[in-house]
């Protein structure tokens, strides 16, 4: 039996979510654009899912665009809002941070290369925090969009969303809430656009949402039949929409109690790891962090080697980001936070889920994995 501690990479589909979506893969399989009873049943399910997602995100039903996941939601938010602002008012400036997910950084880079946007990268401090005052100072008359992650996927640092929303009052603020969903409140963030990925919260891979306040124009990336109010053409994934609605609702019902429980376990795990391993350092904000994220560096070790040792001991974890897995480059998140490149290569991220774990046993396995790699004085020269 392995213990899966990589829940920030993806999660299993929850049984309740599977139950909710199954009828729309089989009995009620219609195309929601079809004008007959089979299609209309699917359209009703889609409308209902849209209303429920909107309620969870503090948005209106018409603001919700169903997508294929976090990457698409981020691409649509960034390119869609920025290009619409370019077309309507000649805005050619976007603001983001150097610790964003690749789907954000690459979308911003696309705007720069293809549409000649200027890009401001806000600094982050050693804990991965963005200062709202820096955002306020960076906003220009031609700023089309601000995009910041609500919580970082590698180190779990949670941003001051209220401060960021106040600072970007005149410019649309997009929050990548892919990691925040399920752990942090989503309905009162002050954001104008929010990205969520279903597979991080117990819905299947290939499901996602971008919610954008109705007054903000979005230039579509996918053109065709005009579904999703023309903002995302293509026959909707009805079962996926039902799944993400069910997953968001379940997560919201359980969120406060789960966040409290998991934070307690995470804190105990972090203390035990720091106590057992002299080289261990917690990365990210020690207080304002995602409940489930315990992220470390182990100077002198190799993060990839620690992961393999942990896997041998039955624990599945990650170096920080599934997307960067296999890359031998140090994490762009850690280096932006000022962690030296050689230390950044020793990163290990344990992300808890909704099951029970024994923090002492996990910390002991981490300590054994790190020390298995440490040559130690008595093994030198052997």
Ligand X SMILES: Cc1ncc(COP(=O)(O)O)c(C=O)c1O
Instruction: Give catalytic residue positions.
Output: 323
From the list 7, 157, 179, 189, which residue makes contact with ligand X (rule: CB under 6 A)?
179
Stretch that binds ligand X, among 19-27, 63-71, 224-232, 361-369 (CB under 6 A): 63-71
Token pair in block for residue 245 = 């609605």
| 319 near ligand X (CB under 6 A) | no
Q: Do residues 244 and 66 make contact, with C-beta atoms less than 8 angstroms apart?
A: yes
Dihedral in degrees, nearest 10, Cα atoms 72, 176, 4, 203: -50
Say whether 66 sits in a helix, a strand or coil: strand
Q: Which is nearer to ligand X, 153 or 369 (CB)?
A: 153
Say whether 135 sits in a helix, a strand or coil: helix
150-169 residues near ligand X, rule: CB under 6 A: 153
Q: What is the total count of residues that contact ligand X (CB under 6 A)?
A: 15
| 101 near ligand X (CB under 6 A) | yes
From the list 103, 189, 227, 351, which residue makes contact with ligand X (rule: CB under 6 A)?
103
Minimum distance from residue 201 beta carbon to ligand X (Å): 11
From the list 82, 146, 171, 197, which residue makes contact with ligand X (rule: CB under 6 A)?
197
d(C-alpha 279, C-alpha 166), whole Å: 39
71-90 residues near ligand X, rule: CB under 6 A: 71, 74
d(C-alpha 300, C-alpha 279), whole Å: 8
320-339 residues near ligand X, rule: CB under 6 A: 322
From the list 20, 50, 80, 176, which residue makes contact with ligand X (rule: CB under 6 A)?
176
| 70 near ligand X (CB under 6 A) | yes
| 149 near ligand X (CB under 6 A) | yes
d(C-alpha 241, C-alpha 115), whole Å: 32
| 189 near ligand X (CB under 6 A) | no
Q: Which is nearer to ligand X, 241 or 272 (CB)?
A: 241
Q: Which is nearer to ligand X, 353 or 359 (CB)?
A: 353
| 240 near ligand X (CB under 6 A) | no
For residue 332, the surrounding DSSP H or E stretch is helix 332-336
Q: Tell me the three-class secondary structure of 86-129, residue by residue.
A: HHHHCCCEEEECCCCCHHHHHHHHHHHHHHCCEEEECCCCCCCC
Q: Which is nearer to ligand X, 143 or 195 (CB)?
A: 195
| 120 near ligand X (CB under 6 A) | no
Give the count of alpha carbons within 13 A of 204, CB side only.
15
Give the count of alpha carbons within 13 A of 355, CB side only.
13
Q: Do residues 293 and 351 make contact, with C-beta atoms less than 8 angstroms apart?
A: yes
In the complex, which residues of this chain contact ligand X (CB under 6 A)?
69-71, 74, 101, 103, 149, 153, 176, 178-179, 197, 199, 208, 322
């Amino acid at each position: 039996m392995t213990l899966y501690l990589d829940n920030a990479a993806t999660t299993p589909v929850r049984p309740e979510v599977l139950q909710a979506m199954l009828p729309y893969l089989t009995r009620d399989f219609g195309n929601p654009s079809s004008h007959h009873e089979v299609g209309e049943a699917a359209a009703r399910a889609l409308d209902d899912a849209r209303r429920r997602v909107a309620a969870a995100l503090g948005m209106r039903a018409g603001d919700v665009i169903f997508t294929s996941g976090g990457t698409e939601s981020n691409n649509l938010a960034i390119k869609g809002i920025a290009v619409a602002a370019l077309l309507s008012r000649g805005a050619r400036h976007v603001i983001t941070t150097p610790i964003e997910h690749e789907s954000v950084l690459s979308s911003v880079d696309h705007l720069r290369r293809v549409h000649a946007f200027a890009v401001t990268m806000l600094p982050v401090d050693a804990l991965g925090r963005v200062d709202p005052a820096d955002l306020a100072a960076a906003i220009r008359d031609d700023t089309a969009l601000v995009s910041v992650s609500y919580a970082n996927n590698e180190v779990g640092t949670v941003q001051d969303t209220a401060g960021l929303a106040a600072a970007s009052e005149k410019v649309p603020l997009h929050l990548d809430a892919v990691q925040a969903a399920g752990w942090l409140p989503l309905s009162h963030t002050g954001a104008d656009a929010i990205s969520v990925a279903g597979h991080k919260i117990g819905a299947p891979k290939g499901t996602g949402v971008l919610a954008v306040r109705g007054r903000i124009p979005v230039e579509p990336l996918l053109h065709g039949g005009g579904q999703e109010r023309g903002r995302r053409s293509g026959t909707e994934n009805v079962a996926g929409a039902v799944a993400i609605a069910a997953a968001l609702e379940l997560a919201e019902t359980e969120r406060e109690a789960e966040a409290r429980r998991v934070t307690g376990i995470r804190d105990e795990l972090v203390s035990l790891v720091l106590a057992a391993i002299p080289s261990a350092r917690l990365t990210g904000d020690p207080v304002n962090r995602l409940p489930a994220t315990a992220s470390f560096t182990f100077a002198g070790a190799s993060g990839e080697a620690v992961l393999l040792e942990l896997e041998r001991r039955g624990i599945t974890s990650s170096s920080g980001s599934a997307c960067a897995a296999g890359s031998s480059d140090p994490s762009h998140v850690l280096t932006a936070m000022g962690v030296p490149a050689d230390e950044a290569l020793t990163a290990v991220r344990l992300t808890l889920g909704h099951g029970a774990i024994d923090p002492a046993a996990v910390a002991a396995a981490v300590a054994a994995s790190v020390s298995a790699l440490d040559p130690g004085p008595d093994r030198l020269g052997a």
